[in-house]
Structure 1
């Protein structure tokens, strides 16, 4: 069972100011890694995956399908030929090769995009917000690694292109001033940033950028509605969502089962797209508040009022009250 997030190449680190003209920060250009673990390939998936069912997204589709909400997915790119994503993709940008489309050469980004916005009811699977639009931003290479400088450029691109939500299914252990600055700029532009907490099973620490208060930090649950063993947890987590053995789209039109806080994050991004299509104009702070007061208490937790699992119906009811 290969761990994508644990794989890194000996890439050269340089001061970040060398990459970002005019940057006031002087720090090493650190590496980040995606928060997903590959389990097994599946030839075909039909219908609604268990995670989408668990958060009660299908019961909300009579009210909202995320119509025209722009979700920036900063990741490994996307499979533009996948039949379940064909009508859910904008052109996006490839930060590793500006002359090319952000084609996925890893699979992680395609998996994230499928959970958020897959829309192939008759022959394939359906994501949380099937009428939202994915804006793929390829910042990660085929090993699931990216430099902070490319993440910063990706966030800036999302701000310029006025996306509504940014999905960040990746992380690193160290603080970065340049990444915080980019997150702040997006937050101040009214963009909701959803970030995965990490797969280290820690109780008192989570990865950056999820640890920044301007993001919505996501932990992962399993089918039993308990915190998945691999998921980081604790008071830094804002919300939990399904992240264990999640089946979604993959390269070459296929499907793959993955686990990780990455997968949980994509469920939350899709739910926020549903919410914004239903109630446009909500600020990032308002949305975090709505999530926290509408989450469903987890099983097996001693502090049910502190943390809980995403529930789309409860979320929509909370905003309508």
Structure 2
């Protein structure tokens, strides 16, 4: 393929102010074409402003860039495959009232029996990537749990949270303020915030792929992805699969549309841990998507956790359920270092506690950390 000609076409296309461009993810069919294009792009990008909008997605050997609505010229069609760079949203609802400062151990953390495990494991030194809206670095409940992470939307800045969702997720996983704040599931784990979502709680698939790439390169042990979409993305599947093969487990939320027999991507990919939500009664929450693809359920209704400017708030959603499971995985990996993603999934599935609702699917169950550690000790 004439990769130089394709680069020139892209440059001319991106320079045109008359055309409204949509973001797409492009991948060369032949690896040699990819290598030649990457060399040319790196050589020409410094002197070409239009080419700076092209982003390399290294983990899947692809590129995200604006492409005119009419798409690629026919002459390049056989050598390149592409898909839309879809917008993705976080999985949270009901941003509700503030929570008192001395909130202690939230109900969800107690429900999954995390305090019973803290004499044996607190998640010490487990690296948790949270691909989300960033985090409040000044929050008193989180200060001792945070590492620098990365801001994919503004590379020179810290991944500060301008939405609140990421801070809430981080709090459930690893808040550590025993004296006057709240305690998360794995209070001695290390949170690495990866800001891929803007203040509206939305991101492009390519931003998420860049986040997964960063997590693999920086050796995260587990990654929390509390968001989803109804459309399948082959590019995102490739990134998730590559992370899984690299030893990085992704925990993802099933979605908040109350659907039966269907859950969102990336939770639907078999390489993730798919999480649904339960309420305080231990029943499947009305808002959660559910199907046989859900691996485990966890507390997701009216969950208290950290919020912006040092506050705390109550939120509901499969996002909240997912952060409980991510914290549990951090406890497990600190207790049994070196477990593969497949082994972690096996332990979670075999240690599920049956759901209370008689109408709940027989094959599913809720997270129980005490049982999880027992199963791990027997199996591993």
List alignment gaps of at least 5 residues for structure 1: 1-10
**CA positional deviation for 1:302:** 3.9
Instruction: Please name the residue that 1:4 is paired with.
Output: none
Determine the structure 1 residue equivalent to 2:192: 135
Bigger helix fraction: 2
Identify the residue that residue 15 of structure 1 maps to in structure 2: 24
Contact 1:78–1:103 under 8 Å retained in 2: yes
- 2:84 aligned partner: 28
Moved more, 32-41 or 146-155: 32-41
- Structure 2 CA distance, aligned partners of 1:243 and 1:163? 24
Q: Do 1:46 and 1:124's aligned partners in 2 also have CA atoms closer than 8 Å?
A: yes
Aligned to 2:71: none
Matched pairs, number:
311
Q: Which runs of 5+ in 2 are unaligned?
A: 1-19, 27-53, 63-79
- Any conservation in 2 of the 1:43–1:255 contact (CA below 8 Å)? yes
Check conservation: 1:116, 1:266, Cα contact below 8 A: yes
Is the contact between residue 57 and residue 313 of structure 1 (CA under 8 Å) also seen in structure 2?
yes
Structure 1 12/218 Cα, relative in aligned 2: closer, same or farther at 3 Å? Answer: farther
1:39 to 81, 93, 96: 96
Residues 148, 304 of structure 1: alpha-carbon distance in 2 compared, 3 angstrom cutoff: closer
Between 1 and 2, higher relative CO (CA 8 Å, sep ≥ 6) is seen in 1
The normalised TM-score by structure 1 is 0.94
Which segments of structure 1 move beyond 3 Å, counting only runs of 4 or more? 18-22, 301-305
1:77 match = 134
The whole-number CA distance in structure 2 between the counterparts of 1:208 and 1:166 is 15
In the alignment, the residues of structure 1 paired with residue 219 and residue 165 of structure 2 have an alpha-carbon distance, to the nearest angstrom, of 24
* Residues 1:163 and 2:220 aligned together: yes
Does 2:301 correspond to 1:265? Answer: no
**1:1-321 alignment, distance < 5 Å:** 13-17=22-26, 18-20=54-56, 22-23=61-62, 25-37=81-93, 38-302=95-359, 305-321=362-378
Structure showing greater Rg: 2
Mark the CA change 1:113 to 1:171 in structure 2 (over 3 Å): closer, same or farther.
same
Partner of 2:30: none
Per-residue CA shift, 1:230-283, capped at 9, x if unaligned?
001120100000000000000000001000000000000000000000001111
Counterpart-to-counterpart distance in 2, 1:63 and 1:220: 26
Deviation at 1:12, TM superposition (A): 6.4
C-alpha distance in structure 2 between counterparts of 1:202 and 1:303, whole Å: 14
Secondary structure of 1:105's match?
coil
Superposed CA offset, 1:57-90 (max 9, x none): 0000000000010000000000000000001001
Aligned partner of residue 208 in structure 2, secondary structure: helix
Q: Describe the shift of the 1:209–1:41 C-alpha distance in structure 2 as closer, same or farther (beyond 3 A).
A: same
CA contact (8 A) 1:45 1:255 kept: no
> Once the 2 structures are TM-superposed, how far is the Cα of residue 15 of structure 1 from its aligned partner?
1.4
SS in structure 2 opposite 1:113?
Answer: helix
Which whole-Å CA distance do the structure 1 matches of 2:167 and 2:334 have between them? Answer: 23
Quick check: 2:172–2:323 contact (8 Å CA) kept in 1?
Answer: yes
